[in-house]
Amino acid sequence: MKVIESVAQMQEESESLRRAGNVISLVPTMGFLHKGHLELMRVAKEHSDKMVMSLFINPTQFGPSEDFEAYPRDTEGDLEKAQSIGADVVFMPVVEEMYPESSQTSVRVERVTRHLCGLSRLGHFDGVTTVVTKLFNCTKPHVAVFGQKDYQQLAVIRRMVMDLDMDIRIIGIPIIREPDGLAMSSRNSYLDPDERKSALWLKKSLELAEKMYYEGTTDAGRIKAAVALLIQSQALIDIDYISLCDPVTLEETKTLRDETLLALAVRVGQTRLIDNCLIRKRGKISKP
């Protein structure tokens, strides 16, 4: 496994892999890898000859009061995990090279960023789309793999790739969960034991919403109220948003039809957690 820090070296490596006829996949991560990340890499390998994982905690997607400094880091452990899953290259650029002071360009996706996390994390998605574009330009992948855990991020990147005619296939991977249902996240490491227990109510509230839909409730307001009530029964959790929305545009839905996204963001103590599920008619299969 090659570990590359420099942008020019990464571009050279990808160029020569391409010239040799390889299909390149990219799995962008911010490190502190867990089984969710490993699943992304496993799928990326299935779809390519050479898999590149990027490891970069991108400062521009964190707000001034967010956890950039505190974000968990374990480079050595991450490299071991990447090697064990069979990554061919780990690209870990440094902030100074990714964002020199002379840099003046950013990539912005408009409407789909104006919902959900876009409302409470101003500028976050501009940071995401800019860094993902840069990572694409550094690693030149044919395929890139993202998790549905960050559902809006995936929707925004799909939109960006379409709008900017990027010749990259985007693959979305279902949420990987702990055995008790908590969606895996690097930020789970912030939770103390009581907060960890409270965090389980996210998954429970997704299940409640699904149950209500299958029992015939299609009124989004009623489902959201029931979900809010359930979450508010937990003293340690504060709701940021509960949204029932269109899975592509992310616009709020009043009435659930064939397929609706339920997306949640909460704060458990100081830790911001997100979770989501697609609520869909039984038997309906959507594109990964």
Give me the least distance between CB of 182 and ligand AMP, in Å please. Answer: 9
Give me the least distance between CB of 186 and ligand AMP, in Å please. Answer: 5
Q: Which residue, 175 or 223, is less far from ligand AMP as judged by CB?
A: 175
Q: Which residue, 29 or 113, is less far from ligand AMP as judged by CB?
A: 29
Q: Which residue, 8 or 94, is less far from ligand AMP as judged by CB?
A: 94
Copy the structure tokens of residue 43. 């799928």
Give me the least distance between CB of 101 and ligand AMP, in Å please. Answer: 25
Nearest to 36 by CA among 49, 46, 27, 45: 27
Q: Is 37 a catalytic residue?
A: yes
Give me the least distance between CB of 27 and ligand AMP, in Å please. Answer: 7
Q: Which residue, 127 or 147, is less far from ligand AMP as judged by CB?
A: 147
Write the burial class of residue 158 (CB in 10 Å: 0-12 exposed, 13-18 middle, 19+ buried): middle
Copy the structure tokens of residue 242. 């509960």
Give me the least distance between CB of 124 and ligand AMP, in Å please. Answer: 12
What strands lie across the sheet with 2-4, from one edge to the other?
A: 2-4, 89-91, 50-55, 24-29, 143-147, 169-173
Nearest to 14 by CA among 168, 163, 147: 168
Q: Which residue, 201 or 220, is less far from ligand AMP as judged by CB?
A: 201
Which are the contacts of 26, defined by CB distance < 8 A and separation ≥ 6?
Answer: 44, 51, 52, 53, 54, 135, 136, 139, 141, 143, 144, 145
Can you say whether residue 100 is alpha, beta or left, with left for phi > 0 and alpha for psi between -120 and 50 degrees?
beta
H helices of the chain, in order, are: 7-19, 35-46, 75-85, 95-98, 117-120, 124-139, 151-163, 193-214, 220-232
Catalytic, out of 37, 115, 124, 142 = 37
Q: State which residue has the least CB distance to ligand AMP.
A: 147
Q: Catalog residues that contact ligand AMP under the rule CB under 6 A.
A: 29-30, 36-37, 40, 146-147, 149-150, 173, 175-176, 183-186
C-alpha 183/C-alpha 204 separation (Å) is 12
Give me the least distance between CB of 277 and ligand AMP, in Å please. Answer: 12
Q: Which residue, 152 or 260, is less far from ligand AMP as judged by CB?
A: 152
C-alpha 276/C-alpha 265 separation (Å) is 9
Catalytic residues: 37
